[in-house]
Amino acid sequence: MPEISKHKMVTLTYDLRIDDEKGEVIEQTTPESPLKFLYGAGRMLPRFEEHLQGLNEGEPFTIKLSKDDAYGDVNHEAIVELPKHIFLVDGKFDDELISEGNTVPMMSSNGQHLNGVVMEVNDDSVKMDFNHPLAGEDLFFVGKILEVRDASEDELAQAFSTGGCDCSGEDCGSEHQGGCGCGC
């Protein structure tokens, strides 16, 4: 039976809670919609992968990651006030899209894709938080390994050229809450 090691395709389920096993489930993958990824491709949180190494198909796992091993502390410099005019499309401001609590895909001045959460909309500015949604949090995963197998050449090529994280057969990138939960 293959065990989790570098360049193996791993399929697993998990419940993700903040802090400990008693917290509210904030993200869940199921057998019908599992997390699939190439182990060792650098797309998951390193400590998450480290805890999975050597596990076999069918094995349960419990992983606690401190915020330092997950998404770090909240970076207050990633909370910024942006001029409201940059959100105009055809001269109009979309109050529905740019409203408190919404996540808005954006691009930095050097072309980096970012997701920002709208914190506040003022007359002349929009306050946004570009921290990872789980920054500042300790993470607690309880799950089960569903499958471990050799990666195909296509899977290897895709993992090293695009997103590498696969939820239910689709590359979810950072659109899935928490970026597939483990660090896409």
Domain harbouring 113, CATH code: 2.40.10.330
**pLDDT of 150-163, one tens digit each?**
999 998 888 877 54
Per-residue pLDDT tens over the stretch 120-155 = 999 999 999 999 999 999 999 999 999 999 999 998
**What token pair was written down for 145?**
């390994």
pLDDT 10s digits, 31-53: 999 999 999 998 899 999 999 99
101 and 118 inside one domain: yes
Q: Are 142 and 120 found together in one domain?
A: no
Q: How many residues does the chain have?
A: 184
Q: What is the CATH number of the domain that holds 174?
A: 3.10.50.40
Rounded Cα–Cα distance for residues 139 and 17 (Å) = 6
175 close to 116: Cβ distance less than 8 angstroms: no
How far apart (Å, rounded) are the C-alpha atoms in residues 39 and 7? 5
Domain count of the fold of the chain? 2
∠ CA 169-170-173 to the nearest 5 degrees? 135
User: Taking 60 as the threshold, does the pLDDT of residue 176 lie above it?
Assistant: no
DSSP conformational letter for 112: -
> Which of 19-23, 37-41, 58-62, 168-172 has the least mean pLDDT?
168-172
50 lies in the same domain as 92: no
- Could you tell me the residue range of the domain that residue 171 belongs to? 8-71+137-183
Alpha helices in the chain (DSSP H): 46-52, 153-161
* Residue 122 placed within a domain: yes
Task: Identify the residue whose tokens are 């400590």.
Answer: 47
Residue 2, domain member (yes or no): no
**1 in any annotated domain:** no
Per the structure block, which two tokens stand in for 6? 């570098």
Residues 58, 84 within the same domain: no
Do 14 and 57 lie in one domain? The reply is yes
CA distances from 23 to 103, 138, 184 (A): 24, 11, 23
- Average per-residue pLDDT in the chain? 87
